[in-house]
Amino acid sequence: MFPKKLWIYPLSFGILGAFIGLVLRYAYTGSIIAFPFKNVLHAHSHVMLLGFIFNALLILVWINFVKSIDKVSFRYYVAMQICMAIMIVAFILQGYAFYSILFSTLHLCISYILLVRLWKRLEGNKSITLLVKFGIFFHFLSSLGPYALGPLMVLDMKESPWYRQAIFFYLHFQFYGVYFIWIVALMANKVKLIITKKHVFVLVFGLILLYAHSLDYNFNHWLIKFFGGLGSTLVFAILFGFRASFIKLNRNLRNIYYLILTVAIINIVGTFPFFTDLVVNNRFVLVAWLHFLFLGLYVPFIWVFLEKRIYLSIWILYAVSVVLSEIFLIFPGFFSQWSLVSVMDLLFITYFGIFLSISIVHGNYIFKSDSDERLGYG
C-alpha cells in the first residue's frame, strides 16, 4: 500500500521551492535591499532538486517497481524529509555552514539506506529494473562530488577548475544518472517496452559520456567535444529507436517522450563550439537550460505520472509561462532594447505564472477530499 501522505512532502516542497524561486526573481528586480542572494539560491536549488524532484521520482519508482512500502522504509523516508526541512532553513539563515552541511550529509546518508532497501525490493522486467538500479548506482557515484569539496578547500583549491567540476560531477549524475534514467525506466515500464541489456548499457554509456559537456566549462580540448558528441548521439539513437512503442501512448505521455527526445537533441546541438561557448559564457543561457530540464521535462513528467486530471487552462498557463521565461533568458538584450518593462520584471511575471500553476496542481493533490485515492498509483 502507498499512502497519500507519501506525496504530501514532495508536492509541498515543490510549492515552497517555486515560492523561493519567485522571491529570488522579485529580488533580482532590485525591489529588495540587502537580500542574501546566495543563501536563498542555495535553499531554492536544494529544495527543488532534492525536496521535490528527487522525492517525487523516488516515490514513482517505488510505486511502479515495488509492491508496497514497508514501515521501516517509510520511517527513513520521513526522516529524510525532516532533514530536508531543516536544511532549507539553515541555508537561508547561514548559507553553506555547519548546520546546512550537517543536515545535507544526514539527508545523503539516509538516502543511501533508503535506496539500498529499494534495490533489494525491485520487481518487474529485468532490463527495465536494471535501469532503475543504474539510477541508484549513479546516486552513490554523484555524491563523490560533494565529498571532494572539503579536501579541495583544505588544499586551497577552491578557485581551481576542479572545485567547480566536483559540483558539476554531482549535478550531472543527479540530472542524467538518476532523474533522466529513472524517467526512461518509468516510461519503458508504462509501455511494457521490449528493451535488451545491450540497449541499457549503451544508454548508460552515453549518459556517462555526456559529462564531457560539463568539462567544457573549464577545459578546451577536441576530445572533450568528441566524447560529448558521441554520448549525445548514443542517447538520442537509443531513445529514438523506441519511438514505435512510445508514440502509441496517450497524448500526455507521448508529449513527455517528445520532450525527452528534445533534451537529447539539445545535447547534440550543445556539442558544437558556438553553442558550447554560448552556454559557458552566458549565465542566462545556462539558467535557461537548467530550467528547461527541470520545468520543461521533470515537472510535467511528474504531473502526468500522478494520473489525475489537470485542467487544460493550467497546462496552458504553465506552458506559456515556461516558454516565455526561456525566451526572456535567452534573448534579454532584445527585450531590454524594445520593451518598456525590464527583463527582470518580465521574468518575475513569467515565474509568477509558474508558481501559480505549481501551487494549484500541488495544492489540489494535497487538499483533495478523496483521502482514499492513492496519488500516482500506477
Identify the three-state secondary structure at position 216: coil
In contact, 92 and 40? CB cutoff 8 Å: yes
What's the pLDDT at 378? 34
d(CA 59, CA 282): 35
Per-residue pLDDT tens over the stretch 336-356 = 777 778 889 999 999 999 999
Look at residue 250 and tell me if it is in a domain. Answer: yes
What's the pLDDT at 370? 46
d(CA 19, CA 24): 9
Confidence band for 201, pLDDT divided at 50, 70 and 90: very high
What's the pLDDT at 273? 87
Look at residue 170 and tell me if it is in a domain. Answer: yes
Mean pLDDT, all residues of the chain: 91
Cα three-residue angle 35-38-42, rounded to 5 degrees: 125
How many domains does the structure of the chain reveal?
1
* CB environment 73-110: b (16+ within 10 A), e (fewer): bbebbeebbebbbbbbebbbeeeeeeebbebbebbbeb
What's the pLDDT at 208? 97
What's the rounded mean pLDDT across residues 268-288?
89
The model carries a pTM of: 0.93
HSE, CB side, 13 Å, CA atoms: give it for residue 355.
18
- For residue 199, pLDDT over 70 is answered with yes
What's the pLDDT at 374? 43
Note the Cα 59 to chain centre separation in Å: 14
Handedness of CA 234, 256, 185, 361 (dihedral sign): positive
What's the rounded mean pLDDT across residues 115-144?
96
Look at residue 238 and tell me if it is in a domain. Answer: yes
What's the pLDDT at 377? 34
The residue with cell 526573481 is: 25
Look at residue 133 and tell me if it is in a domain. Answer: no
Question: Alpha carbon of 198 to those of 18, 183, 201, 204: distances in Å?
Answer: 39, 19, 5, 10
Look at residue 266 and tell me if it is in a domain. Answer: yes
Q: Please compute Rg for the chain using Cα positions.
A: 20
Look at residue 249 and tell me if it is in a domain. Answer: yes
In contact, 305 and 324? CB cutoff 8 Å: no
What's the pLDDT at 45? 94
Note the Cα 278 to chain centre separation in Å: 22
Confidence band for 105, pLDDT divided at 50, 70 and 90: very high
The residue with cell 525536496 is: 51
Look at residue 147 and tell me if it is in a domain. Answer: no
Low-confidence winner among 84-93, 115-124, 274-283 (lowest mean pLDDT): 274-283
Note the Cα 292 to chain centre separation in Å: 10
For the CA atoms of 261, 266, 272, 273, what is the dihedral angle to 10 degrees? -160
What's the pLDDT at 3? 64
Confidence band for 2, pLDDT divided at 50, 70 and 90: low
Grid coordinates given for 328: 526572456
**335 residue type, one letter:** F
What's the pLDDT at 156? 85
DSSP labels for 234-284?
Answer: HHHHHHHTTHHHHTTS-HHHHHHHHHHHHHHHHHHHTTSHHHHHHHHH-HH
The residue with cell 535488451 is: 196
For the CA atoms of 284, 287, 288, 293, what is the dihedral angle to 10 degrees? 170
For 221: left if phi > 0, alpha if psi spans -120 to 50, otherwise beta; the answer is beta
What's the rounded mean pLDDT across residues 45-57?
96
Per-residue pLDDT tens over the stretch 300-332 = 999 999 878 899 999 999 999 999 999 999 998
Identify the three-state secondary structure at position 211: coil
- For residue 299, pLDDT over 50 is answered with yes
Note the Cα 94 to chain centre separation in Å: 24
In contact, 172 and 140? CB cutoff 8 Å: no
Look at residue 70 and tell me if it is in a domain. Answer: no
DSSP labels for 305-373?
Answer: HTT----HHHHHHHHHHHHHHHHHHH-HHHHHHH-SS-HHHHHHHHHHHHHHHHHHHHHHHHH-S-TTS
Confidence band for 35, pLDDT divided at 50, 70 and 90: confident
- For residue 369, pLDDT over 60 is answered with no
What's the rounded mean pLDDT across residues 234-258?
93
What's the pLDDT at 28? 87
d(CA 186, CA 64): 7
Which range of residues forms the domain containing residue 164?
Answer: 158-271
* CB environment 7-38: b (16+ within 10 A), e (fewer): bbbbbbbbbbbbebbbbbbbbbeeeeeeebee
